[in-house]
């Protein structure tokens, strides 16, 4: 197994996610990526001027994300405790791992700033 991070994301979903966020969220906004993995999307958003935090339940991938400059924590969703709110919350190919779905979306709603954006980019719901 390789432990690499895509500095320039080349897969179509990642490129499209970045394009979508950039077109809907102003630079400098706060974004939480739920299920950040190794931090590919979060790293790109940081480089583009966003304030990004990540969380993932996998300690190994969080360590990799942190090594690439992503402020990420090991946590589970929707139990993630936060005293701050966000301009956007992004579930990038992660929501299908989270149950119950209603609680997951409800927690996102609690942590979004008024008028905030909830992005769900996924390929399957279980």
Domains of the chain by residue range: 12-121
- The CB density around residue 113, as the number of other CB atoms within 10 Å, is 14
Which pLDDT score is estimated for 125? Answer: 52
Q: Mean pLDDT across the chain, nearest whole number? A: 88
CATH tag for 12-121 (out of 3.20.20.140, 3.40.50.150, 3.30.70.890, 3.30.365.10): 3.40.50.150
Q: What is the distance between the alpha carbons of residues 81 and 107, in angstroms, rounded to a whole number?
A: 10
Higher pLDDT, 120 or 62: 62
pTM summary value? 0.86
Tell whether the model's pLDDT for residue 55 goes beyond 90.
Answer: yes
CA torsion sign for 91, 92, 93, 94 is negative
Which pLDDT score is estimated for 68? Answer: 93
Tell whether the model's pLDDT for residue 33 goes beyond 70.
Answer: yes
Q: What is the distance between the alpha carbons of residues 28 and 5, in angstroms, rounded to a whole number?
A: 23
Tell whether the model's pLDDT for residue 5 goes beyond 50.
Answer: no
């Amino acid at each position: 197994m390789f432990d690499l991070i895509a500095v320039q994301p080349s897969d179509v979903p990642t490129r499209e996610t970045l394009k979508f966020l950039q077109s809907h969220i102003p630079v400098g906004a706060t974004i939480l990526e739920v299920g950040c993995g190794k931090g590919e999307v979060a790293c790109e958003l940081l480089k583009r001027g966003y304030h990004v935090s990540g969380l993932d339940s996998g300690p190994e991938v969080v360590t990799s994300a942190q090594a690439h400059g992503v402020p990420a924590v090991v946590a589970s969703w929707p139990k993630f405790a936060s005293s701050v709110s966000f301009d956007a919350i992004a579930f990038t190919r992660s929501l299908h791992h989270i149950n119950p779905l209603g609680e997951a979306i409800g927690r996102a709603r609690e942590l979004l700033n008024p008028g905030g954006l909830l992005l769900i980019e996924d390929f399957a719901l279980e």
